[in-house]
Amino acid sequence: MTLAERVAAFLEAHDPASTDRLEFLRARYDAGLAWVHYPEGHGGLGLEQALQAEVDRLFAEAGAPTNQPEKNGIGLGMAAPTILAFGTDEQKKRFLRPLWTGEEIWCQLFSEPGAGSDLANVSTRAVLDGDEWVVNGQKVWTSGAHNARFAILVARTDPDQPKHFGLTYFLADMTDPGVDVRPLRQITGEAEFNEVFLSDVRVPDAQRLGAVGEGWKVANATLNNERVSIGKSAERETGMIGVVARTWREHPERRTPELHDRLLRLWVDAEVARLTGTRLRQKLAQGQPGPEGSAMKLGFARIAQQLSGLELELLGEDGLRYSDWTLVRPDHVDFTGRDAGYRYLRAKGNSIEGGTSEILRNIVAERVLGLPGEPRVDKDVPWKEIPR
């Protein structure tokens, strides 16, 4: 049976018009049509990732409900591939299905006030108590924590080890009474991210991902996926360039030669970035995401920022206005949504979230080009002895 026939047979058995939305999504997962490159039994068929687009297209054509991937970007883009790579069979069984269907939204409890670029410096402590870990600490910049049911969490389990070795990776329940999520307002006015205070949060040892002390390795797998998923787009003029090109076409009266020159340069950059993304995905079709994704993300951030800045100038007087400064807590982020002012401000985060552009340049220089690493005064010292 071809993949298209499989989809047709599934749609035959589950009429999108009359089947309950969640029931439909769960059945789609069980049929291996959720993400075909995942293994059988975990929502996939062990096929090439490239085949997914065709499956999604067929479902969309049939008017099938989607799993609203925009609301669970961290779950789908980061938690799932990490669970797939490092999880036990039980963990995959427990977490992947409701993650994919969107029943359980995920957030990322990595960054802390003292551990941003230097993620390995996290000081949130996890201490084993019987078959549970007791977690205490503070996380920050946690996008979507206010909607999340679970979190991927990096915590320190051994402060006597050098910083990279004493970390462990967990899957934490955000409904634990010890989890306190407080909105953190950002430059756009809204609060997409949060501060998350963890007080005696209990995480069963069965929800540890990877071995004790291997958290750094597992976290890096997550981060590589983050950088690849951030740099995504397939059709020409998707993303910020599409928005700005539309504005350009709609406003002949606002065009100037100087803006035209900048727009064309950025159009070319965006088109080349799109092709670079396609090429990278072709390279990664089978393998794991590597440091090359960092180079993509660098370009993506720069282009989005320059384009959104250009759009405000193009809008002239209208560019002086802003839609709404009210503190809202959105359930998803759309870099190209709302108004031009919002897009300009939100794009500033693109070179900070998921690794700053400076850190990404270090990564490219060191891991792709093989240049020497930065001096690391704290690398071989037990974590607890590092001055902070």
Partner 1 sequence: MSDLDLLYTEVEDDLRASLRDLLAARCDSSAVTAMYDGDRSVVDPLWKELAANLGLAGLLVPEDQGGQGASAREAAVVLEELGRTVAPVPFLTSAVIATTALLGSDAPLLAELAAGERTAALALPWSTAPDGPLTAVAVEGGRLTGTVTSVAGAVEADVLLVLADGFLYAVAAADAKVTPVVSLDMSRQLADVRVDGAVGTLVVEDGEPAVRRALDAGAAMLASEQLGVARWCLETTVEYLKIRRQFGRVVGGFQALKHRLADLYTGVESSAAAARYAAATLAENDPDATIAAAVAQAYASDLAVLAAEEAVQLHGGIGMTWEHPAHLYLKRAKSDQIALGTAGAHRARLAGLVDLPA
Ligand X SMILES: Cc1cc2nc3c(=O)[nH]c(=O)nc-3n(C[C@H](O)[C@H](O)[C@H](O)COP(=O)(O)OP(=O)(O)OC[C@H]3O[C@@H](n4cnc5c(N)ncnc54)[C@H](O)[C@@H]3O)c2cc1C
> Catalytic site residues?
226
Q: β-strand 179-184 against 125-129: which pairing, if any?
A: unpaired
CA-wise closest residue to 108 among 147, 143, 138, 155: 143
Residue 362 near ligand X by CB under 6 A? yes
Q: Which CB sits closer to ligand X, 52 or 124? A: 124
Which partner from the list partner 1, ligand X, none does 283 bind, CB cut-off 5 to 8 Å by kind? partner 1
111 touches ligand X by CB under 6 A = yes
Angle among Cα 337, 343, 345 to the nearest 5 degrees reads: 140
φ/ψ of residue 204, rounded to 5:
-60, 145
Fill in the DSSP letter of residue 140.
-
Q: Among partner 1, ligand X, none, what binds residue 110 when CB lies within 5 to 8 Å by partner kind?
A: ligand X
| 333-341 long-range contacts, CB within 8 A, separation 24+ | 333/73, 333/143, 333/192, 334/70, 335/239, 335/240, 335/304, 336/239, 336/240, 336/242, 336/243, 340/247, 340/308, 340/311, 340/312, 340/315, 341/312
Minimal CB distance to ligand X: which residue? Answer: 116
CB of 265 to partner 1, least distance (A): 7
Q: How far is the CB of 4 from partner 1 (least distance, A)?
A: 16
Q: Does position 141 bind ligand X by CB under 6 A? A: yes
Give Cα 328 distance to the centre of its chain: 21
Q: Which stretch binds ligand X (CB under 6 A): 4-12, 103-111, 196-204, 235-243?
A: 103-111
Question: Residue 86 touches which of ligand X, partner 1, none (CB < 5 to 8 A by kind)?
Answer: none
- Contact track, ligand X, 295-334, x by CB under 6 A: ----------------------------------------
Kindly state whether residue 276 participates in binding partner 1, applying the rule CB under 8 A: yes
**Contact partner at residue 260 from ligand X, partner 1, none, CB < 5 to 8 Å by partner kind:** partner 1
Question: Which residue in the set 289, 293, 309, 349 belongs to the binding site for ligand X (CB under 6 A)?
Answer: 349
**At a CB cut-off of 8 Å and minimum separation 6, what does 270 contact?**
237, 239, 240, 241, 303, 307
Q: Which stretch binds partner 1 (CB under 8 A): 62-70, 172-180, 294-302, 335-343?
A: 294-302
Side-chain-side CA neighbours of residue 4 (13 Å): 4
Query: Given the complex with ligand X, which of 11 and 153 has the nearer CB atom?
Result: 153
Token pair listed for 71 = 């609301």
Q: How many CB atoms lie within 10 A of CB 279?
A: 12
Q: Which residues pair with 135 in a beta bridge?
A: 126, 201
Pattern 348-367, partner 1, x by CB under 8 A: ----------x-xxxxxxx-
Among 105, 298, 307, 312, the residue binding partner 1 under the rule CB under 8 A is 298
- Are 373 and 364 in contact by the 8 Å Cβ rule? The answer is no
Handedness of CA 277, 231, 296, 374 (dihedral sign): negative
Q: Which is nearer to ligand X, 259 or 365 (CB)?
A: 365
- Are the C-beta atoms of residues 364 and 291 closer than 8 Å to each other? yes
* 283 vs 379 by CB, closer to partner 1: 283
**Alpha helices (H) along 285-374:** 292-315, 340-347, 357-363
Among 13, 264, 327, 381, binds partner 1 (CB under 8 A): 264
Residues at the interface with partner 1 (CB under 8 A) = 234-236, 245, 248-249, 252, 255, 257, 260-261, 263-265, 267-269, 271-276, 278-279, 282-283, 292, 295, 298-299, 358, 360-366, 368-374
